């Protein structure tokens, strides 16, 4: 890490929640803490960024942890000076790389959290080029890209909704500004309407302008549709060209062969692939596994001394002598038993099997070469397409391309012919093997019958098993000798490599010592210059603060002047409109203008002065009539009050009579009411209206 400030920043972040690392300082980060502890700190920071990365380091190997952390940093778009592979190696032994990655993670924590959340949804799926021709895969890829775009838009909308709203003062200021702009627009519209109304037949012109605008919009839509259709046509033509090219390549590969030949060729290829998959490959896997087991067994054994090696060589020699003796006795017994024909067929079968294996190996090698050439051809086509695009070759470039293509086609034809020969030879060998197996079965049956007759049943099987054991032992001894030779060779090479590395490292170590002294001197110079730099930066920071205050003051003055300017401009426009109305009123009052007289006829009055005078006269008449009505009401007010009191007394009297009648009805019924009104209780009506 190049800056002590960055070290201080990392130390302060680690000392605070949620990490709470005690005793962390910039010096301890740089000098005291070991690499595994720093790696654990990086893992804790990443676990805070993404909870899915919270892993128990005690259950994970150090190499897996480093690989996981480097992959996560690569996902966060961390770009070290070296490539990713070199950076992964640097994390295991370089403190500087670890501290730089810690500063990167802590410096922009929120954005890293956001990126770690978005990465699983927006990562591009790596599709091999050989599957890109499948329409279903292309369709799925298009759907994936569309879903990713929708996800981006929805996430942006969510972020915008999460952002805090503007303050009330800023909203009021924006509303005020919008109101001012609205007034400006309305005044412009009013002026334009005035100008348009003065044009003769303005309604016809407005209708024509509307139709023109609609026609232009339709023309733009049609142009876009034409472009889209052209793109679709171009894509279709490119697809047709690709299909035609594939068809030509397929026909050229067939070479005018009939369907029967193609079918027989496919059957031969099927047999060859079946043989490789069912017999050859399992055998090779078993041999490789046997070698691996032998190597592991040799590695587990203690280191052999020279005396042990000599004793093993003597043992191998004795076993070889025994094998030779057993082979001689087997030959003598075979001569005496008279089974020369059977051994001859067995030898022929083994020869055919070896030829078959050799042919299969040749076929596999040629197939690997063909696949390699196809891969190289695909890569070169992609490189050419990236460099030149779809540009046509011309002149010397085209001639060179044709000559290269001819050479490759000749090589391809040679390989194709050799492959066909090998396939035909394989078919012949396979048929020969089947014939020999049938003959071998017949001879085995005859030998079993002969053994039954002679009373030695199973002699041939025992002899064959003994031969197989001897062959396996010889192969094992040979492999063992090769293994010992390889181990001794490896040890010698390692010793030579160690010696050569020591020789190479000697001058480097000497140079390193001198560089350490230089570093100590440079660190002293660095500390002195750092002090002067810090003092200078402190002065510059204080000056920058003062300049920032001045700039803010000037910006505020500019904003105030701008708002004052817009306000005055709006008031001036309002005054202009008022003055224009006054001028129109003066023209109407003076008369003599045809346009003004036409407007007077349309609106039904001459001037606003006449209208307002008429309204004033009407209002004065109404006020006069209202004053007379008020005078009449005041003169009759006292008599009306007396009459109102009389009516209230009458209402009270009638209510009392109603209550009396209701009480009589409740106490004595109808008879009591009639007795009450028999004539003695009737009084004279003294009510005078």
CATH fold of 4-123 reads Actin-binding Protein, T-fimbrin; domain 1 (1.10.418)
Q: What is the pLDDT of residues 42-58, one digit of tens each?
A: 888 878 777 777 777 77
Residue 574 pLDDT more than 50?
yes
pLDDT at 462: 63
Task: Write the DSSP symbol of residue 163.
Answer: S
Q: What is the mean pLDDT of the chain?
A: 76
Residue 230 pLDDT more than 50?
yes
Question: How far is CA 641 from each of CA 488, 644, 687, rounded to the nearest angstrom?
Answer: 142, 5, 19
Confidence of residue 647 (pLDDT cuts 50, 70, 90): very high
d(CA 147, CA 28): 48
d(CA 33, CA 18): 20
Task: Write the DSSP symbol of residue 82.
Answer: S
What is the SS3 assignment for 412?
helix
Confidence of residue 164 (pLDDT cuts 50, 70, 90): low
Rounded to an integer, the average pLDDT of 530-550 is 79
d(CA 269, CA 594): 104
Contact 298, 452 (CB under 8 A): no
Query: Torsion over CA of 343, 349, 352 and 353, rounded to 10 degrees?
Result: -120
* Residue-range domain boundaries for the chain: 4-123, 178-250, 260-297, 298-488
By CB atoms closer than 10 A (0-12, 13-18, 19+), residue 260 is exposed
Confidence of residue 75 (pLDDT cuts 50, 70, 90): confident
1 sits in which H/E element: none
Rounded to an integer, the average pLDDT of 440-461 is 71
d(CA 603, CA 94): 92
Residue 654 pLDDT more than 90?
yes
Rounded to an integer, the average pLDDT of 359-383 is 77
Residue 673 pLDDT more than 60?
no
- With a CB cutoff of 8 Å and minimum separation 6, the contacts of 125 are 141, 144
pLDDT at 131: 65
Residue 671 pLDDT more than 70?
no
Confidence of residue 163 (pLDDT cuts 50, 70, 90): low
pTM to 2 decimals?
0.28
Residue 387 pLDDT more than 60?
no
Residue 539 pLDDT more than 50?
yes
- For 330-372, the DSSP string reads HHHHHHHHT-HHHHHHHHHHHHHHHHHHHHHHHHHHHHHHHHH
Q: Among candidates 263, 286, 270, which has minimal Cα distance to 363? A: 270
């Amino acid at each position: 890490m190049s800056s002590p400030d960055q070290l201080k920043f990392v130390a302060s972040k680690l000392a605070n929640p949620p990490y709470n690392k005690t005793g962390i300082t910039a010096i301890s980060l740089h000098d005291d803490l070991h690499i595994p502890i720093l790696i654990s700190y990086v893992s804790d920071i990443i676990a805070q960024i993404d909870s899915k990365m919270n892993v128990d380091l005690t259950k994970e190997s150090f190499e897996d942890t480093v690989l996981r952390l480097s992959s996560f940093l690569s996902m966060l778009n961390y770009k070290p000076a070296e490539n990713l592979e070199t950076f992964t190696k640097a994390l295991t032994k370089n403190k500087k790389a670890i501290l730089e990655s810690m500063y990167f993670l802590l410096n922009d924590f929120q954005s890293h959290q956001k990126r770690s959340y978005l990465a699983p949804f927006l990562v591009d799926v790596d599709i091999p080029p050989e599957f890109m021709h499948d329409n279903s895969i292309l369709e799925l890829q298009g759907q994936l890209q569309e879903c990713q775009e929708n996800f981006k838009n929805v996430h942006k909308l969510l972020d915008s909704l999460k952002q805090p709203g503007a303050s009330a003062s800023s909203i009021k200021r924006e509303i005020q500004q919008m109101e001012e702009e609205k007034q400006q627009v309305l005044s412009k519209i009013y002026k334009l309407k005035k100008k348009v109304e003065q044009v003769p037949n303005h309604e016809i012109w407005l209708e024509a302008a509307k139709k023109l605008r609609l026609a232009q919009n339709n023309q733009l839509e049609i142009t876009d549709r034409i472009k889209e259709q052209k793109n679709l046509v171009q894509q279709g033509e490119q697809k047709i060209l690709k299909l035609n090219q594939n068809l030509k390549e397929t026909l050229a590969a067939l070479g005018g062969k009939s369907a029967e030949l193609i079918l027989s060729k496919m059957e031969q290829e099927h047999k060859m692939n079946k043989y490789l998959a069912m017999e050859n490959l399992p055998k090779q896997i078993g041999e490789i596994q046997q070698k691996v087991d032998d190597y592991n067994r040799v590695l587990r054994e203690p280191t052999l001394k020279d005396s042990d090696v000599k004793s093993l060589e003597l043992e191998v020699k004795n076993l070889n002598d025994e094998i030779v003796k057993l082979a001689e006795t087997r030959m003598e017994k075979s001569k005496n038993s008279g089974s020369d024909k059977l051994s001859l067929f067995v030898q022929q079968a083994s020869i055919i099997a070896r030829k078959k294996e050799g042919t299969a190996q040749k076929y596999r090698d040629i197939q690997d070469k063909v696949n390699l050439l196809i891969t190289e051809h695909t890569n070169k086509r992609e490189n050419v397409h990236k460099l030149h695009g779809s540009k046509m070759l011309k002149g010397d470039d085209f001639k060179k391309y044709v000559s290269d293509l001819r050479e490759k086609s000749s090589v391809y034809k040679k390989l194709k012919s050799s492959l066909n020969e090998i396939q035909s030879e394989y078919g012949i060998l396979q048929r020969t093997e089947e014939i020999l197996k049938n003959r071998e079965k017949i001879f085995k049956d005859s030998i079993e019958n002969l053994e039954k007759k002679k009373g030695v049943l199973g002699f041939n099987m025992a002899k064959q098993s003994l031969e197989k054991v001897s062959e396996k032992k010889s192969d094992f001894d040979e492999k063992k000798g090769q293994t010992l030779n390889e181990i001794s060779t490896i040890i010698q090479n390692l010793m030579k490599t160690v010696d050569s590395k020591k020789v190479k490292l000697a001058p480097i170590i000497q140079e390193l010592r001198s560089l350490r002294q230089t570093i100590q001197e440079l660190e002293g110079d660095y500390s002195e210059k750092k002090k002067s730099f810090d003092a200078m930066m402190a002065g510059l920071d204080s000056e920058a603060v003062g300049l920032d205050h001045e700039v803010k003051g000037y910006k505020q003055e500019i904003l105030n002047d701008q708002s004052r300017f817009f306000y005055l401009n709006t008031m001036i426009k309002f005054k202009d409109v008022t003055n224009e109305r006054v001028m129109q009123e003066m023209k109407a009052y003076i008369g003599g203008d045809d346009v003004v007289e036409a407007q007077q006829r349309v609106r039904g009055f001459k001037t606003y002065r006449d209208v307002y005078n008429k309204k004033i006269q009407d209002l004065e008449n109404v006020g006069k009539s209202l004053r007379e009505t008020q005078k009449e009401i005041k003169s009759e007010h006292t008599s009306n009050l007396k009459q109102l009191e009389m009516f209230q007394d009458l209402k009270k009297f009638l209510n009392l009579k109603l209550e009396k009648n209701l009480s009589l009805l409740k106490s004595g019924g109808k008879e009591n009411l009639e007795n009450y009104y028999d004539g003695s209780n009737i009084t004279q009506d003294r009510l005078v209206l």
